[in-house]
Amino acid sequence: MNLMTKEKRYNTLNAFYRQKFGKKVFKVSLNGNFTCPNKDGKSGYGGCVYCTESGSGDFAGNKNESLKTQFNKVRAMMHEKWSDALYISYFQANTNTYDTEERLRDLFYESISLDKNIVGLSIATRCDALNNEIYDLLEELNDKTYLQIELGLQSIHDETSNFINRAHSLKCFDDAVKELRKRNIDVVVHIINGFHMETKNDMMDTVRHLNKLDIQGIKIHLLHIMKKTKLGKIYLENPFKMLTLDEYKDIVCDQLEILDPNIIVHRLTGDSPRELLIAPLWSLKKLVVMNEIDKELRRRDCYQGNKFKK
**Residues binding ligand SF4 (CB under 6 A):** 36, 38-39, 47-48, 51, 55-56, 94-95, 126, 152
Beta strands of the chain (E only): which ranges?
25-30, 86-91, 118-125, 146-154, 186-193, 217-222, 225-226, 264-267, 277-279
In the complex, the smallest distance separating the C-beta of residue 60 from ligand SF4, rounded to whole angstroms, is 11
Residue 167 CA to chain centroid, in angstroms? 18
Nearer to ligand SF4, 258 or 277 (CB): 277
SS3 call for 28: strand
Nearer to ligand SF4, 15 or 167 (CB): 167
Positive or negative torsion for Cα 220, 223, 226, 232: positive
In contact, 97 and 131? CB cutoff 8 Å: no
In the complex, the smallest distance separating the C-beta of residue 52 from ligand SF4, rounded to whole angstroms, is 8
Nearer to ligand SF4, 59 or 109 (CB): 59
Report the alpha-carbon angle 242-200-272, nearest 5. 40
In the complex, the smallest distance separating the C-beta of residue 157 from ligand SF4, rounded to whole angstroms, is 17
In the complex, the smallest distance separating the C-beta of residue 53 from ligand SF4, rounded to whole angstroms, is 10
Nearer to ligand SF4, 22 or 46 (CB): 46
Q: Calculate the alpha carbon distances from 81 to 25, 26, 84 in Å.
A: 12, 11, 9
In the complex, the smallest distance separating the C-beta of residue 192 from ligand SF4, rounded to whole angstroms, is 10
Nearer to ligand SF4, 234 or 258 (CB): 234
